[in-house]
Structure 1
């Protein structure tokens, strides 16, 4: 009942994740990223402990594949888990637990991976990756949101979505963007609208943190 995407921008070095589901609060349970490191998605019967653990593994120098293998080995409930990872070089990996409900699927491309479970169509991740790769000149957040909408248009869950989240990291220890929508009838479209409002301010908010004297706002 969740479909998600991890991606890296080869031009800026940013990492990002976008995800959506028919349950509430996806932004606090699925995407985990660290600047210049990569990130992890943890979903199906989600274990949020696996996200920070995966990021720590990536920071230690583990590849995406090594990170996923270590996460699976570390949890006795891996049969219920669906995981994905991307590392600093843009390599990707995923895991589908044996007890996951269909339809579940994955798709990989250069610097990106999509996964989903309890979907209306197993084509959803493939369509997401194709859309993400087709917009390589656009900002990373725009590409992630376009891919998320394409996944919904390809069938999505087949039932109403209520939450969505966008997480992007750049060079600092804090997110470049961390935007979430909950209890909304059209969460992907609402999230895209929030990003359109936030995008012109994103660099300014970073500047306020790292060079406050140079910032424009209050």
Structure 2
């Protein structure tokens, strides 16, 4: 009912799972990941215990292939299960039980494993593999999504489309550094869930991505004057808090606080401010 990829970044700091299925809210069931430990995908006849048990084994240093062997050996329903595991080092591992609905299978390599069942054919996994291997220059969440999109375009679940999910963890990579969930997005019921997941990831990146120091503008001179006028038009005039304070106040309302840098300006923030400030009230 599902196709997924579990993977690790080249530096070992990020782990994640991308999944799509003709099944309601697959992202709520299939993926699990722990920062600097590994990631697990449980599918077909899902065994939710695989998630916590698999991560616990990875945490103690058990290799992914041995995690798969241990989980399936202890499970009388293993022939109806599918499982993908990746750890902090080495190859990923995948399992497809003999009773999984065809087409079903998987592939694995250094730092990744892709698997699926009730697929149009093996080309789905081939496409995911190729997209993952060819995407090494992409940011890790986008690389996972690109592999998932490749599987979807190759035919995906032969019953159709319904849901998709993306989970990426990095130590202190979550909101304001207070957690490890860098990305945790789900499309639970949608006619084109992988495309919708891509839209959500783009929005997530805009709102919560960290500013690139190389692209920041100095918030001085004519740019500072423009920003002050735009902020005033948006209801955040520069007052005793100064330009930085007014900008931070506006950014908090717009959910862009993660992109604010004192005395400087992220081009993404400037673009959003220009696009959303009420027209004709910028003080020009």
1:21-62 deviations in Å (ceiling 9; x for gaps): 001011111111000001111100111111111001100110
Q: Distance between the aligned counterparts of 2:87 and 2:257, measured in 1?
A: 35
1:125-157 deviations in Å (ceiling 9; x for gaps): 121011011110111111111111110111111
Report the Cα offset of residue 12 of structure 1.
6.2
Which residue of structure 2 lines up, in the alignment, with residue 67 of structure 1? 67
Residue 188 of structure 2, aligned match among 179, 182, 201: 182
Which residue of structure 2 lines up, in the alignment, with residue 25 of structure 1? 25
Larger Rg: 2
TM normalised by structure 1 equals 0.90
Cα contact 1:103–1:121 (8 A) shared by 2: yes
Which blocks of at least 5 consecutive residues in structure 2 are unaligned? 173-178, 211-255, 259-284
Cα contact 1:104–1:116 (8 A) shared by 2: yes
Q: Distance between the aligned counterparts of 1:114 and 1:69, measured in 2?
A: 17
Which residue of structure 1 lines up, in the alignment, with residue 160 of structure 2? 160
Aligned length: 208
Q: Distance between the aligned counterparts of 2:101 and 2:85, measured in 1?
A: 21
Please, what is the CA RMSD of the aligned residues? 1.7
Residue 198 of structure 1, aligned match among 193, 204, 219: 204
Q: Distance between the aligned counterparts of 1:152 and 1:58, measured in 2?
A: 29
1:82 aligns with 2:79: no
Which residue of structure 1 lines up, in the alignment, with residue 112 of structure 2? 112
Report the Cα offset of residue 79 of structure 1.
1.1
- Which structure has more relative contact order (CA 8 Å, sep 6+)? It is 1
Cα contact 1:8–1:90 (8 A) shared by 2: no
Higher strand proportion: 1
Cα contact 1:106–1:126 (8 A) shared by 2: no
Q: Distance between the aligned counterparts of 2:72 and 2:206, measured in 1?
A: 40
1:190-211 deviations in Å (ceiling 9; x for gaps): 000000000133356xxxxxxx
Cα contact 1:90–1:112 (8 A) shared by 2: no
Report the Cα offset of residue 7 of structure 1.
1.3
Which blocks of at least 5 consecutive residues in structure 1 are unaligned? 205-214
Runs of 4+ in structure 1 off by over 2 angstroms are: 200-204
1:42 aligns with 2:48: no
Which residue of structure 1 lines up, in the alignment, with residue 225 of structure 2? none
Q: Distance between the aligned counterparts of 1:24 and 1:169, measured in 2?
A: 23
